[in-house]
Amino acid sequence: MIRFNQVNKTYPGGFVALNNVNFSLAAGEMAFLTGHSGAGKSTLLKLMSLMEKPTSGTVHINGVDLSKVTYKQIPFIRRGIGMIFQNHNLLMDRTVFDNVALPLVIEGFSHKETKKRVEAALEKVHLSSKLRCFPHMLSGGEQQRVGIARALVNKPPILLADEPTGNLDPKLSLEIIKLFEEFNDLGVAVLIATHDLGLIARLKYRTLTLKQGAMINDGLMEGLQGVHDDA
Ligand SMILES: Nc1ncnc2c1ncn2[C@@H]1O[C@H](COP(=O)(O)OP(=O)(O)OP(=O)(O)O)[C@@H](O)[C@H]1O
């Protein structure tokens, strides 16, 4: 589903953001990605979504070697990945329905099919009653759930989340993770980049840890000391 093989990323200017990263995430797996600020978490997510290219090494997503993807094919590859961000990037002048419908409108789905899918996605994130609301009428946790519905409305097999609980209190954070678990139970592979060591410690999922661009841990976290030392 996701496979990194000897991946290096050096940004123009010479900064080494990723150093020989190897890992894979199978279909239906769920894992955390953590590490200090600047460790390379966002860079790793950007390589998967074709926002950046590796300097060397290969990245496979849904069986496709991304180095072989042409410019024209990029939108098709991206459709296989749902992305969720800390600030959820909702369109504030559009309703909840329109925000969630956006990926389907871009893909050219009929109005009838769009309505069916948007209603189903909003039901999954428990927001059916808020369909006609504008984002400013919702709480932070509800806005994040709209972002999740939008990311998953076209049923991608992979979900990538970059600090999805960054602005939320512990209770709401857990609710968001529970939603991810529900999608994971349906077979979606989920990778969650987070600084939230409390969340990681409570949930006992596989945890990939980056330190200065190198993958220093891959597995359940036992002791978390040292990971965020150089933050
Ligand atoms: N476009 C760029 N050009 C040059 N350097 C960059 C670029 N993007 C990121 N970097 C550098 O690469 C390093 C890794 O950045 P990255 O955003 O992947 O870290 P991160 O682990 O996501 O950090 P944070 O938790 O603070 O978001 C940082 O030192 C950053 O300054």
pLDDT in tens, 10-41: 999 999 999 999 999 999 999 999 999 999 99
Task: Tell how far the Cα of 41 is from the centroid of ligand 1, in angstroms.
Answer: 8
Under the banding of pLDDT at 50, 70 and 90, the label for residue 140 is confident
Under the banding of pLDDT at 50, 70 and 90, the label for residue 227 is very low
Q: Please tell me what DSSP assigns to residue 40.
A: S
Q: What are 165-210's pLDDT values in tens digits? A: 887 888 888 888 999 999 999 999 999 999 888 888 888 899 999 9
How many other C-beta atoms lie within 10 A of the C-beta of residue 207? 23
Is the confidence at residue 225, as pLDDT, over 60? no
In this structure, the strands spanning 30-35 and 206-211 are parallel
Task: Tell how far the Cα of 49 is from the centroid of ligand 1, in angstroms.
Answer: 15
- Take atom 28 of ligand 1 and give the residue whose Cα is closest: 38
User: Three-class SS of residue 62?
Assistant: coil
The pTM score is 0.89
Nearest Cα neighbor of 113 from 74, 163, 68, 153 is: 153
Nearest Cα neighbor of 54 from 10, 103, 16 is: 10
The finding on whether 38 has its CB within 6 A of some atom of ligand 1 is yes
Read off the pLDDT of each residue in 49-53 and give the average, rounded to a whole number: 94
Please, what is the Cα angle at 128 between 127 and 132, to 5 degrees? 95
Pocket of ligand 1, candidates 32, 42, 87, 160: which has the most ligand atoms within 8 Å of its Cβ, to mutate?
42
Task: Tell how far the Cα of 38 is from the centroid of ligand 1, in angstroms.
Answer: 5
The finding on whether 51 has its CB within 6 A of some atom of ligand 1 is no
The finding on whether 164 has its CB within 6 A of some atom of ligand 1 is no
Read off the pLDDT of each residue in 45-59 and give the average, rounded to a whole number: 95
Share the mean pLDDT of the chain.
90
pLDDT at residue 132 in the model: 96
Longest Cα–Cα distance of the chain, Å, equals 53
Top mean-pLDDT range of 59-73, 170-184, 215-229 = 59-73
Pocket of ligand 1, candidates 4, 11, 209: which has the most ligand atoms within 8 Å of its Cβ, to mutate?
11
pLDDT at residue 222 in the model: 57
Nearest Cα neighbor of 82 from 193, 162, 156 is: 156
The finding on whether 40 has its CB within 6 A of some atom of ligand 1 is yes
> Higher model confidence: residue 200 or residue 92?
92
CA 115 to CA 108: how far, in whole Å?
Answer: 13
- Take atom 31 of ligand 1 and give the residue whose Cα is closest: 38
The finding on whether 166 has its CB within 6 A of some atom of ligand 1 is no
Domains, the chain: 2-219 (3.40.50.300)
CA 161 to CA 163: how far, in whole Å?
Answer: 6
- Take atom 16 of ligand 1 and give the residue whose Cα is closest: 40
User: Three-class SS of residue 51?
Assistant: coil
